[in-house]
Amino acid sequence: MEQFAIADVDRASASHRVVIVGGGFGGLYAAKTLGRFKHIKTTLIDKRNFHLFQPLLYQVATGKLSPGDISSPLRAILSHYRNVTVLMDEVKDIEPEQHQVIVQTGTVPYDTLVVATGVSHHYFGNEQWAEVAPGLKTVEDAIEMRRRIFRAFEVAEKETDPEKRRAWLTFVVVGGGPTGVELAGALGDLAHHALKHDFRSIDTRETRILLLEGVDRILPPYPPELSALAAKSLEHLGVTVQTQSFVIGITEDTVTVRRDDQTETIPAKTVLWAAGVRASGMSKVLADRAGATLDRAGRVIVNPDLSVPGQPDIFVVGDLAHYAHQDNQPLPGVAPVAMQQGAYVAKLIQRRLQGQELPPFHYSDGGSLAVIGQNAAVANLGRLKLSGFPAWLIWVFVHIYYLIEFDNKLIVMIQWFWNYFSRKGGSRLITQEKSPLNPSELGGKIG
């Protein structure tokens, strides 16, 4: 194994070396903040070469935006911080005693380590469902969802058997959290607006969209009145919201749901998974190597300063961190928490080098927003609760504000502006399959 020239240079100088693993919101905001402290040498390691604006990934899955619209090259974002190095590689292990991480092609030494590798979706022990009910975490996931959604309409258009056609026009979204609500709303928009003039044999407005949630209301972290308003908006878009429903089986043709001890099997060709997340593999490495304690979802239980108990030089930020020192319940896995944690840890590292400390991390909650279709949303801004068009407008501006690069911001804003009037969805490409219309191939994993 070789050590990188970059690392050698760092070691030669006396400056403090920070290694950040993961270029999501947590890692990126840590890197950007550390970039301002020129005496700290930061290396950001990610297996992808771009930061993904995950809150808008459902818009890629439903053909409204292109992957490039919500992605920014990490190198471009960080290029003007000359003390920050980006390394495209995959971290395989951590060696806390040697103060180094093992990547695919060598080792990288650190003085302080920040782990921000996030979560992936999770099938609660039914991992075989992954093939028939894709989740939504990566660009590739979104393209796979997009392919399945638009292919379903194409196959339905050609199907002459009414029952089979019905199954192709039935979409089931599993999970009534923000992602599930946003996916179901976007599907409603597609079926009732964007696609309504595009087919000749089917009427896309007859599409059945089912949103399944296990507890008694959708958007459970929101106040009940906003959950009710969200459900109403969804129904207005043709989405059937079904709560207290548990998925007990998924095949390539059906979804089986249990509700009040009744079991129903629904013929449906397209099932989208938005039901659960699990910590990324780094949490197990932290448990094995650094003695970290994990919660049920595999997240790392952290100290009030976001360090791993017993490891003052290792921090965990973002979705991977279980931070329960505020309001006695873990902070939600949302972008603002990750951004604030990343920036906090960066400042703490800088303070410690000056022999100072910072008060414990405190999440400043600006509110939560979930969008339902083209011009409705719910916003929980503390005492102010909004829904409908005003909430949607806030949602649009908040998201544009945070889209990291100026060009992305501008493009996405114009795309939205145009979509709002045209409702066409220009990015609904079916890609990545040589023979996209052979229904017998639909079951298997398609590259």
According to the binding rule CB under 8 A, does residue 405 interact with its own copies? yes
According to the binding rule CB under 8 A, does residue 168 interact with its own copies? no
Among 1, 125, 127, 160, binds its own copies (CB under 8 A): 160
**Cα(168)–Cα(199) distance, integer angstroms:** 14
* Cβ neighbours for 298, distance < 8 A, ≥ 6 positions apart: 278, 279, 283, 284
According to the binding rule CB under 8 A, does residue 435 interact with its own copies? yes
Q: CA end-to-end span of the chain, whole Å?
A: 32
Structure tokens at 64: 């409204």
Among 1, 5, 14, 384, binds its own copies (CB under 8 A): 5
Coil/strand/helix, residue 239: strand
Q: Are strands 239-242 and 208-212 parallel, antiparallel or unpaired?
A: parallel
Pair 142, 134: CB distance under 8 Å: no
Per-residue x/- track, 201-230, its own copies (CB under 8 A): x-----------------------------
Closest approach of Cβ 180 to its own copies, in Å? 24
**Cα(352)–Cα(11) distance, integer angstroms:** 19
User: Between 358 and 400, whose beta carbon lies closer to its own copies?
Assistant: 400
According to the binding rule CB under 8 A, does residue 445 interact with its own copies? no
Q: Is the dihedral of CA 44, 50, 54, 56 positive or negative?
A: positive
Q: Which stretch binds its own copies (CB under 8 A): 115-123, 251-259, 321-329, 435-443?
A: 435-443
According to the binding rule CB under 8 A, does residue 50 interact with its own copies? yes
Nearest of 215, 235, 214, 217 to residue 226 by alpha carbon: 217
Pair 19, 96: CB distance under 8 Å: no
Structure tokens at 260: 């009040």
Nearest of 53, 32, 57, 139 to residue 404 by alpha carbon: 53
Per-residue x/- track, 352-381, its own copies (CB under 8 A): ------------------------------
According to the binding rule CB under 8 A, does residue 240 interact with its own copies? no
User: Between 37 and 344, whose beta carbon lies closer to its own copies?
Assistant: 37
Closest approach of Cβ 396 to its own copies, in Å? 17
Closest approach of Cβ 201 to its own copies, in Å? 5
Among 21, 65, 274, 286, binds its own copies (CB under 8 A): 65
From residue 223, give the alpha-carbon distance in Å to each of 184, 230, 385. 20, 11, 9
Among 20, 40, 57, 87, binds its own copies (CB under 8 A): 87
According to the binding rule CB under 8 A, does residue 89 interact with its own copies? yes
According to the binding rule CB under 8 A, does residue 130 interact with its own copies? no
According to the binding rule CB under 8 A, does residue 88 interact with its own copies? yes
Q: Where are the alpha helices (DSSP H) in 87-223?
A: 139-158, 162-168, 178-189
Q: Which stretch binds its own copies (CB under 8 A): 197-205, 208-216, 246-254, 341-349?
A: 197-205
Q: Report which residue type is found at 274.
A: A
- In total, the chain counts a number of residues equal to 447
According to the binding rule CB under 8 A, does residue 11 interact with its own copies? no
Per-residue x/- track, 406-425, its own copies (CB under 8 A): xxx-xx--xx--xx--x-xx
Q: Examine the residue annotation and report whether 159 is marked as an active-site residue of this protein.
A: no
According to the binding rule CB under 8 A, does residue 90 interact with its own copies? yes
According to the binding rule CB under 8 A, does residue 397 interact with its own copies? no
φ, ψ for residue 254, nearest 5 deg: -145, 160
Phi-psi region of 261 (alpha: psi -120 to 50; beta: other; left: phi over 0): left
Q: Of these residues, 144, 159, 182, 213, which one is catalytic?
A: 182
**String of DSSP letters for 293-354:** -B-TTSPEE--TTSEETTEEEEEE-GGGEE--SSTTSPPPS-HHHHHHHHHHHHHHHHHHHT
**String of DSSP letters for 258-282:** EETTEEEEEE-SEEEE-S-EEE-TH
Q: Are strands 91-95 and 100-103 parallel, antiparallel or unpaired?
A: antiparallel
Residue with tokens 């979706």: 121
According to the binding rule CB under 8 A, does residue 427 interact with its own copies? yes
According to the binding rule CB under 8 A, does residue 447 interact with its own copies? yes
Closest approach of Cβ 256 to its own copies, in Å? 29
According to the binding rule CB under 8 A, does residue 76 interact with its own copies? yes
Pair 204, 192: CB distance under 8 Å: yes
According to the binding rule CB under 8 A, does residue 150 interact with its own copies? yes
According to the binding rule CB under 8 A, does residue 440 interact with its own copies? no
Chain residues binding its own copies by CB under 8 A are 2, 4-6, 47-50, 65-69, 71-73, 75-76, 79-80, 85-90, 104-106, 139-140, 150, 154, 157-158, 160, 195, 197-201, 405-408, 410-411, 414-415, 418-419, 422, 424-432, 435-438, 447
Q: Report, as residue numbers or ranges, the catalytic residues.
A: 182
